[in-house]
C-alpha cells in the first residue's frame, strides 16, 4: 500500500487513464473489480471547450468511489491551475497532470509528452497546479514517459522537478514519446526514478498479467503498477493482479456465469450513462474486446457489431454469452 496525499491506496494495481475507454462506467467497474485507482479520461485545461456533452460527462463523478481522480492536460500554468480548481469544485479528489500522451494532436499543442522537452515549463505547470488546490487538501500527481526520445530520457530529472514542486506521486510509462506504443517497455529508467525520489512511483507499460506485475514491481521497486490495454475486455484483471500482489496468490478464476453478469452489467451502465446513440457506439468497442472470450469470436463479433439499437445489442450479447456459459455446463 502507498499514500497519495491523504489517501491510502490499498491496492497497488491501478487503471491507466485512456481516452475513449476510462469513462465513468468503466472506472466504476474497474474499481469494483479491485483497481486501487481509476483516473478519468484526459480533460483539456481550456475551459472554453467544456460546454460539449463529452467534456461534461468526463467531469461527472456521480456514484464513483473515492478517491476520484481527474486527469488534466495543458501547457499554460494559469489555465491548468484554473482547470484544477474547477474540477475540485466538481468533485475531483486527486488531480493528475498528463505529460505522457504521445498523440500528435496533443503534442502539436505542446501538451502531453511534448512538455518533456521543456523542463522549466514542467516546473511552472506543476507548481501552479499544486498551489491552486493545496488549500483544499487535494494532492496532485503526474503521468509521464521516460523522455521525448531514446536519446533524451529525462524522466529522472522530471521526477525530481515534480517532487520539488509538491507532486504527491508519479506514474511513468516505460517508453519515450517517440516510441508511442511500439516495441517493449523498458523499466530501467523507472527503477532509476524510484531510486532518485521519495514520492510513490507507479510503473506503467506492458503490464498484462499478475506474473508480469510482480516482476515489474520486483525489478523497479516501484510502489504500484498501472494497467491500460490489458484491461480491454478484461476488467477483472485487477482482482487477479492485486490478489497476487497483496495476498501472494490470485483468487480463483471467475466462472463463466460471473463473467457474463459483469459484461451485461457493464453494458447497462454504458447505456444509462451515454444514452441510446452514444451508448450503442461505445458499447460496440467494449463488445469487440469482450467477444474475444467467446468460442466463435468472428461470428459473434459480426452479430454484435450489426445491432442497430441498444436493446438489440443487449439481447444479442445476452444470447451469445448465455450460449458460452451453457457450453461449459
For every one of its 329 residues, what pLDDT tens digit does the chain have, with 9 covering 90 and above? 899 999 999 999 999 999 999 999 999 999 999 999 999 999 999 988 898 888 889 889 999 999 999 999 999 999 999 999 999 999 999 999 999 999 988 988 888 999 999 999 999 999 999 999 999 999 999 999 999 999 999 999 999 999 999 999 999 999 999 999 999 999 999 999 999 999 999 999 999 999 999 999 999 999 999 999 999 999 999 999 999 999 999 999 999 999 999 999 999 999 999 999 999 999 999 999 999 998 877 888 999 999 999 999 999 999 999 999 999 87
pLDDT in the model for residue 53: 86
pLDDT in the model for residue 51: 86
**Are 83 and 58 a contacting pair, CB within 8 Å?**
no
Cα separation of 133 and 53, whole Å? 26
pLDDT in the model for residue 54: 84
pLDDT in the model for residue 109: 84
Cα separation of 92 and 97, whole Å? 13
Residues contacting 120, CB < 8 A, separation 6+? none
**Are 310 and 276 a contacting pair, CB within 8 Å?**
yes
Q: Are strands 2-4 and 169-173 parallel, antiparallel or unpaired?
A: unpaired
**Are 178 and 113 a contacting pair, CB within 8 Å?**
no
CA nearest to 319, candidates 275, 279, 260: 260
pLDDT in the model for residue 79: 96
Cα separation of 203 and 174, whole Å? 7
Beta bridge partners of 69: 39, 94
CA nearest to 141, candidates 279, 5, 47: 5
pLDDT in the model for residue 49: 84
**Are 131 and 167 a contacting pair, CB within 8 Å?**
no
pLDDT in the model for residue 34: 97
Nearest-10 Cα torsion for 150, 155, 156, 157: 100
Catalytic positions: 101
CA nearest to 59, candidates 17, 21, 91, 93: 91
**Where would I find the H helices in 67-172?**
77-89, 104-107, 119-133, 155-165
**Are 325 and 257 a contacting pair, CB within 8 Å?**
yes
pLDDT in the model for residue 75: 95
Cα separation of 133 and 130, whole Å? 6
DSSP annotation of 186 reads -
Packing angle of the helix pair 256-274, 24-32 (nearest 10 deg): 150
CA nearest to 84, candidates 95, 99, 75, 74: 95
Amino acid at each position: 500500500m502507498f499514500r497519495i496525499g491523504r489517501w491510502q491506496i490499498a491496492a497497488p494495481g491501478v487503471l491507466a487513464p485512456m481516452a475513449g475507454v476510462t469513462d465513468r462506467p468503466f472506472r466504476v467497474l474497474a474499481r469494483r473489480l479491485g483497481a486501487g485507482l481509476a483516473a478519468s479520461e484526459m480533460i483539456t485545461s481550456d475551459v472554453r471547450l467544456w460546454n460539449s456533452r463529452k467534456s461534461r460527462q468526463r467531469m461527472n463523478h456521480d456514484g464513483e468511489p473515492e478517491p476520484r481522480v481527474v486527469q488534466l492536460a495543458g501547457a499554460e500554468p494559469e489555465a491548468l491551475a484554473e482547470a484544477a480548481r474547477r474540477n475540485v469544485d466538481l468533485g475531483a479528489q486527486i488531480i493528475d497532470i498528463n505529460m505522457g500522451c504521445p498523440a500528435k494532436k496533443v503534442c502539436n499543442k505542446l501538451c502531453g509528452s511534448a512538455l518533456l522537452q521543456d523542463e522549466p515549463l514542467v516546473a511552472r505547470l506543476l507548481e501552479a497546479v499544486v498551489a491552486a488546490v493545496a488549500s483544499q487538501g487535494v494532492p496532485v500527481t503526474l503521468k509521464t514517459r521516460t523522455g521525448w526520445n531514446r536519446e533524451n530520457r529525462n524522466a529522472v530529472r522530471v521526477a525530481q522537478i515534480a517532487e520539488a514542486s509538491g507532486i504527491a506521486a508519479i506514474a511513468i510509462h516505460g517508453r519515450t514519446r517517440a516510441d508511442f506504443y511500439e516495441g517493449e517497455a523498458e523499466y530501467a529508467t523507472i527503477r532509476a526514478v524510484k531510486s532518485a525520489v521519495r514520492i510513490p512511483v507507479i510503473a506503467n507499460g506492458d503490464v498484462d498479467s499478475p506474473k508480469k506485475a510482480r516482476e515489474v514491481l520486483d525489478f523497479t521497486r516501484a510502489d504500484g503498477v498501472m494497467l491500460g490495454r490489458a484491461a480491454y475486455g478484461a476488467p477483472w484483471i485487477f482482482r487477479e493482479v492485486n490478489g497476487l500482489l497483496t495476498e501472494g496468490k490470485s483468487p480463483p478464476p471467475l466462472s463463466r456465469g460471473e463473467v457474463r453478469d459483469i459484461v451485461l452489467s457493464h453494458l447497462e451502465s454504458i447505456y444509462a450513462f451515454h444514452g441510446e446513440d452514444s451508448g450503442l457506439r461505445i458499447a460496440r468497442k467494449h463488445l469487440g474486446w469482450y467477444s474475444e472470450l467467446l468460442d466463435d469470436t468472428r461470428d459473434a463479433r459480426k452479430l454484435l457489431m450489426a445491432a442497430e439499437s441498444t436493446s438489440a445489442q443487449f439481447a444479442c450479447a445476452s444470447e451469445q454469452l448465455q450460449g458460452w456459459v451453457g457450453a461449459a455446463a
